[in-house]
Amino acid sequence: MFRALVLFCAVFFAVRAGALEISRSLVRIESTSQVPDYKTPWNPGEVESGVGAGFVIDGNRVMTNAHVVSNARFLTVSKEGDPNPYPARVLHIAHDCDLALLEVKEADFFQGTKPLEFGGIPALESVVSVYGYPIGGTRLSVTRGIVSRIDFQTYSHSGIDAHLTIQIDAAINPGNSGGPVMQDGKVVGVAFQGFSGDIAQNVGYMIPTPVVRRFLMDVEDGRYDRYMDLAMTYQSLFNPAARAALGLKDDNLGVMVSSVYDGGSSAGILQSGDVLLAIDGHNISSDGTIPLGDEPVPLAEVVERKLKGDSVKLDVLRDGNPLALEVQLTEPWPFTLQANAYDEMPRFVVFGGLVFQPVDENFMQEHAPGNQRLKYLYDFFVEDSVYRRHPELVVLSNILADPVNAYAGDFRYAAVDKINGQQIKGLRDVAEAFGQKADVYVIEFVGEGRPVVLEGKAVAEARERILARYGVVNEQNLDK
Amino acid sequence: MAVPVIAGTTPQVQKETEASNPRDSLLRVNSNNQAFDFFRPWRKKPPFSRRGIGVLIEGGRILVTAELVANSNFIELEKAATAEKSAATVERVDYDCNLAVLKPVDPGFIKAMNPMPIDGNLKVGSELEVLQMEPNGDIARTAAKVTTIGVGGYPFENLGLLVFKAAVPLQQREGSFTLPAVRDGKLVGLLMRYDARNQTAEIVSTPVIRHFLKEMEDGRYEGFARLGLSFASLRDPQLRRHVKVTEPGGIYVTEVVPGGSAALAGIRKGDVILEIDGKSIDQDGNYDDPEFGRILFSHITSTVRHPGETVAVRISRDGKVEDLKVALQVPDRSRLVSEAHITDRAPRFLVLGGLVFVELSRSYLQEWGADWAKAAPQRLVYYDAFQNELPEDRGKIVVLSQVMPTPDTLGYEDLQNHVVLKANGRTVRSLEDLAEASKEPLGGFHKIELEEDPKLIFLDAQSVEANKDALMKHYALPALQRL
């Protein structure tokens, strides 16, 4: 369902600008961005522009959504009542929770502005106001609504991260993104996504302050790490037989660990079949929620609020024996492969007219390959530990047709397994293998019975010809 | 898959009036078929009927396509002119070649009829006729011309056997599911697919029909052998030099099916096949057939030769030419991880406390509809697609197909299409394994381990046993297992 969520870079309504207190804090952001081209990765990509909202917070910083300023090449901010756009720069950007902080070089900009303060989680049914620049207008707009629901939701900017989210019934439209949602003079959320009208009416989402505060805390050291994860899955424990078999009482407490992903925080600590009874001292209900604040929230909320290197204490029942375990939190690689990525250039290697690219969500979305084996390797990358053999999947993404590669056509979207006998673990290995002088380059693909063979001499002869004919300005990019 | 005949234009049709009437060899065949429901394996889907034309051949046999009588409950033969009817039974059906032979229950039924001889020697450009029947029993003939002769995929198994393709503007007529193609009053094939838009028909070819009938002769039917390998063309000169092939032609072996004919003969991935049965194989896998021209080598190994025969295969390995003997065999389908189709046979299942377990087959996947490869659970699709890469002892894939909620399955209601790895500590490689394991619960619980989340589920063994009757009654299940 979250795929239907639309990110809102601009929403507007009636205007009473100037009279409002908020007009001293609200900022209109214009962004010129460049979207990378994963099909012709040596090209610079299309230039686009968009409008979003933001607001001034302490330290002369402007807060907005990550998606408002993603892939930005040039940013300006302007305030109510001042027609001048001021050039701005991204200070920190967190794609996994769709938040960003901007700085403005000209100190004048902040003269007369008022930094907003953050509040807590607003109560259900309480009234909130949303400010922004919907549908591209230049004057501020305000809409009102009530808090409809507080729950975990996938943030569609990254597509894989789910955090606490507050649903409101105020109209939120493109252009509202990054604008403050206010209650009693304090920010209680940052407007960020909603549904398109044909899916649901009057459903808007804002990023609540626990997520915002965590972001601000994370960047205190000057860099954004990202959300940490236990890298495991759990299952509710309603079934009486399962409860009895696992040695649990009929007290509605505890969930069972299903998968523990190796390479993740919990690897070697938790096991499939363990029962989690408490996390940091909070009892875990059999549906996986913990009492935190007024409403029960998923146990992951404890992890959500922590930073890299922090630990989580877990009360565990293993084979009937209670254990007190501690998990130190690390980044959730390799899950991040399946997130939408921004602010990075496509990586690739061109050799003998064969284009090699690493596979990630951006690649899959743009190429939409029909190759069944590649889909398997990608879809089950984490679950089946494909990453152990292929930490980075590199595929033959395109063939710049030339006599040298006339018979490689069957291998489009096949994943590279070996080159000249060397196991390929990532794009750098590909570049390295082709960088070595050889009479012949034998490229083996995963699950393909026959290799592609390129003779060194033929590749060298074809090189200039292919680059010129296809306008390949750069034969490789190994860095993001 | 076999599209009965639908044509848009009005073709030239000559009504049959001559004395040498093919009508004496043709019968209407009405088959009442009922497929199994793989989602609810204890029941069948609604019945339907297919109508086609059967051809009486030597031996009192009536030849039809297998598809016409697939999953048949009742088959009826009908004389075109008099509408006399007789029930029939299937003497032999082979879904590999899409052919079946029927016998009337009353042998006297076909006494006055003339068997149709079988022709051969078709060439591209040969003219033939496709026969249909008018409601009054008259034969409607439509002229056809052979456009292509080559190895193509047959339905059910997608086995590559010889196909005649013909251009023929057929009219839509009742009862055209299987139609004979004849030349000079002799049978050359049976229509198995018709593309109304392009007005082309695919015809089960004479060599395939002859092979099928010959296999029936010795009373020990084996069918069509497979070499058991995949190959790639060897056109690329860079690849040719790399594999050190100096001889012309040859194909590159990309995959060898474990336990198959090629594997047992020692053929390996990476070998280059130069000759089969004394015929040179070109870079695309074709040989020069004296009758049909350049066609794929598998025509030799599947159709020209019979199971049990040995063919010489010349390969090149690391630049050295070797001669191997390949004993041709029909793969044991029951040993496949996922069978390509389950027809005329009820799917196996086991219900444990409301959890429904089945074995993976392509018939199961096809329950997701025409788009099953995309719509079905992808893990199961991959198991089916890449089954040759699984360990040889993988056995069947047992799937927790669905849950019929009972108090025992509380919390598990949403589970569907989960691959079962173990039950009560035992590895599960078949439904029998699961049935055996379920006799020995661990500490009073059935412990079932799944490949994916939630990974582990439990049932109360005593409660499952006690609730058996209630479960059957409640969901109207005729049985809790069929093994």
Q: Where are the domains of chain B?
A: 1-224, 229-327, 337-482
| Residue pair B173/B132 in contact by the 8 Å Cβ criterion | yes
- Cβ of A239 and B385 within 8 Å? no
| Chosen from B379, B424, B456, B463 to mutate, greatest number of chain A CBs within 10 A | B456
**Measured between alpha carbons, how far is B305 from B227 in angstroms, rounded to an integer?**
11
CATH fold of B1-224, please?
Thrombin, subunit H (2.40.10)
Q: A120 in helix, strand or coil?
A: coil
C-alpha distances (whole Å) from B9 to each of A271, A441, B190, B389 are 68, 56, 22, 48
- Cβ of B445 and A245 within 8 Å? yes
Q: A283 vs chain B: nearest CA distance in angstroms? A: 20
| Residue pair A290/A296 in contact by the 8 Å Cβ criterion | yes
The reply to whether B337-482 shares the fold of B1-224 is no
| Chosen from A418, A450, A461 to mutate, greatest number of chain B CBs within 10 A | A450
Query: Residue A16 — pLDDT band, cuts 50, 70, 90?
Result: very low
Task: Work out the burial of residue B284: count CB atoms within 10 Å of its CB; fewer than 13 is exposed, 13-18 middle, 19 or more buried.
Answer: middle
Work out the mean pLDDT of chain B and round it to a whole number.
92
Query: Residue B420 — pLDDT band, cuts 50, 70, 90?
Result: very high
| Chosen from B238, B243, B372 to mutate, greatest number of chain A CBs within 10 A | B238
- Cβ of A242 and B463 within 8 Å? no
What residues of A are in contact with residue B459 (Cβ under 8 Å)?
241
What residues of A are in contact with residue B418 (Cβ under 8 Å)?
none
| Average of per-residue pLDDT across A299-305 | 92
- pLDDT of B4: 43
| Chosen from A407, A420, A439, A446 to mutate, greatest number of chain B CBs within 10 A | A407
Task: Work out the burial of residue A343: count CB atoms within 10 Å of its CB; fewer than 13 is exposed, 13-18 middle, 19 or more buried.
Answer: middle
Phi first, then psi: give them for residue B147, nearest 5 degrees. -105, -35
| Residue pair B62/B15 in contact by the 8 Å Cβ criterion | no
- Cβ of B460 and A453 within 8 Å? no
- pLDDT of A360: 94
Residues A23, A78, A92, A98: which is the catalytic one?
A: A98
What residues of A are in contact with residue B379 (Cβ under 8 Å)?
380
A95 is catalytic: no
B130: enclosing H helix or E strand: strand B127-133
Interchain CB contact of B456 with A (< 8 Å): yes
What residues of B are in contact with residue A256 (Cβ under 8 Å)?
454, 456
| Residue pair A433/A325 in contact by the 8 Å Cβ criterion | no
- pLDDT of A303: 94
* A 449-468 residues with CB < 8 A to B: 449-455, 458
Q: Is the pLDDT of residue B343 over 80?
A: yes
Predicted confidence (pLDDT) per residue in A173-222, tens digit? 888 999 999 999 999 999 999 876 677 778 899 999 999 999 999 999 99
Measured in residues, chain A has a length of 480
Strand segments (E) across A160-203: 162-168, 180-183, 186-195
Interchain CB contact of A389 with B (< 8 Å): no
Predicted confidence (pLDDT) per residue in B116-153, tens digit? 999 877 899 999 999 999 888 889 999 999 999 999 99
Q: Which of A400, A404, A367 is nearest to A467 (CA)?
A: A400
**Measured between alpha carbons, how far is A385 from A334 in angstroms, rounded to an integer?**
9
Interchain CB contact of A366 with B (< 8 Å): no
**Measured between alpha carbons, how far is B208 from A68 in angstroms, rounded to an integer?**
65
Interchain CB contact of A272 with B (< 8 Å): yes
**Measured between alpha carbons, how far is A166 from A149 in angstroms, rounded to an integer?**
6
Predicted confidence (pLDDT) per residue in A241-267, tens digit? 999 999 998 899 999 999 998 888 999
**Measured between alpha carbons, how far is A358 from A378 in angstroms, rounded to an integer?**
11
- Cβ of A241 and B253 within 8 Å? no
| Average of per-residue pLDDT across B62-73 | 97
Could you say which of B236, B382, B385 has the minimum Cβ distance to residue A453?
Answer: B236
Could you say which of B235, B385, B452 has the minimum Cβ distance to residue A383?
Answer: B452
Q: A149 vs chain B: nearest CA distance in angstroms? A: 25
Residue of B nearest to A274 (CA): B456
Predicted confidence (pLDDT) per residue in A305-328, tens digit? 999 999 999 999 999 999 999 999
Interchain CB contact of B382 with A (< 8 Å): yes
**Measured between alpha carbons, how far is A404 from B172 in angstroms, rounded to an integer?**
51
Work out the mean pLDDT of chain A and round it to a whole number.
91
Q: Is the pLDDT of residue A81 over 90?
A: no
What residues of B are in contact with residue A238 (Cβ under 8 Å)?
410-411
Q: A226 in helix, strand or coil?
A: coil
Interchain CB contact of B216 with A (< 8 Å): no
**A292: which residues sit within 8 A by CB, 6+ positions away?**
A282, A301, A302
Query: Residue B161 — pLDDT band, cuts 50, 70, 90?
Result: very high
**Measured between alpha carbons, how far is A150 from A296 in angstroms, rounded to an integer?**
10
What is the amino acid identity at position A283? N
State the architecture of B337-482 in CATH terms.
Alpha-Beta Barrel (3.20)
What residues of A are in contact with residue B445 (Cβ under 8 Å)?
241, 244-245
- Cβ of A258 and B409 within 8 Å? no
What residues of B are in contact with residue A380 (Cβ under 8 Å)?
379, 382
Q: A408 vs chain B: nearest CA distance in angstroms? A: 9
Could you say which of A273, A406, A453 has the minimum Cβ distance to residue B242?
Answer: A453
**A428: which residues sit within 8 A by CB, 6+ positions away?**
A478
Predicted confidence (pLDDT) per residue in A25-48, tens digit? 999 999 999 999 999 999 989 999
- pLDDT of B398: 98
**For A239-398, where are the alpha helices, taking DSSP H only?**
240-245, 300-304, 361-367, 372-379, 386-389
Domains plus CATH for chain A? 1-223 (2.40.10.120), 232-328 (2.30.42.10), 346-477 (3.20.190.20)
| Residue pair B480/B421 in contact by the 8 Å Cβ criterion | no
B241 phi-psi bin (left φ>0, alpha ψ -120 to 50, beta other):
alpha
Predicted confidence (pLDDT) per residue in B14-28, tens digit? 444 444 578 889 999
Residues A177, A265, A266, A286: which is the catalytic one?
A: A177
Q: Is the pLDDT of residue A12 over 50?
A: no
DSSP string, B253-285: EEEE-TTSHHHHTT--TT-EEEEETTEE--TTS
Q: Is the pLDDT of residue A2 over 70?
A: no
- pLDDT of B7: 38
* Of the listed ranges A69-73, B58-62, B132-136, B454-458, the one predicted with least confidence: B132-136
- Cβ of B241 and A447 within 8 Å? no
**Measured between alpha carbons, how far is B309 from A271 in angstroms, rounded to an integer?**
54
Interchain CB contact of B454 with A (< 8 Å): yes
**Measured between alpha carbons, how far is B226 from B218 in angstroms, rounded to an integer?**
20
Of 3.40.50.9100, 3.30.420.10, 2.40.10.120, 2.30.42.10, which CATH number belongs to B229-327? 2.30.42.10
Q: B447 vs chain A: nearest CA distance in angstroms? A: 9
| Average of per-residue pLDDT across A76-88 | 91
Query: Residue A9 — pLDDT band, cuts 50, 70, 90?
Result: very low
- pLDDT of B256: 94
Task: Spell out a b/e string for B231-269, using b for 16 or more CB atoms within 10 Å of the CB, else e.
Answer: bbbbebebbbebbebeeebbbbbbbbbeebbbbebebee
Separation of CA A298 from chain center = 20
Share of chain A above pLDDT 90, in %: 79
Beta sheet of A354-358, edge-to-edge order: A394-399, A354-358, A348-351, A476-477
**B136: which residues sit within 8 A by CB, 6+ positions away?**
none
- pLDDT of B20: 55
| Residue pair A180/A22 in contact by the 8 Å Cβ criterion | yes
- Cβ of A258 and B455 within 8 Å? yes
Could you say which of B238, B389, B408 has the minimum Cβ distance to residue A454?
Answer: B238
**Measured between alpha carbons, how far is A294 from A296 in angstroms, rounded to an integer?**
7
The separation between the first and the last C-alpha atoms of chain A, rounded to the nearest angstrom, is 30
Interchain CB contact of B457 with A (< 8 Å): yes
The C-alpha angle B330, B334, B340, rounded to 5 degrees, equals 85
Could you say which of A235, A447, A453 has the minimum Cβ distance to residue B454?
Answer: A235
Q: Is the pLDDT of residue B99 over 50?
A: yes
Query: Residue B193 — pLDDT band, cuts 50, 70, 90?
Result: very high
The C-alpha angle B58, B169, B25, rounded to 5 degrees, equals 15
What residues of A are in contact with residue B389 (Cβ under 8 Å)?
447
A67 is catalytic: yes
Interchain CB contact of B267 with A (< 8 Å): no
Q: Is the pLDDT of residue A15 over 80?
A: no
Residue of B nearest to A271 (CA): B455
- Cβ of B382 and A372 within 8 Å? yes
| Residue pair B167/B124 in contact by the 8 Å Cβ criterion | no
- pLDDT of A175: 85
Q: Are strands B293-296 and B286-289 parallel, antiparallel or unpaired?
A: antiparallel
A282 is catalytic: no
Interchain CB contact of A319 with B (< 8 Å): no
Whether the ω angle into residue B180 lies within 30 degrees of 0, i.e. cis, is no
**B111: which residues sit within 8 A by CB, 6+ positions away?**
none
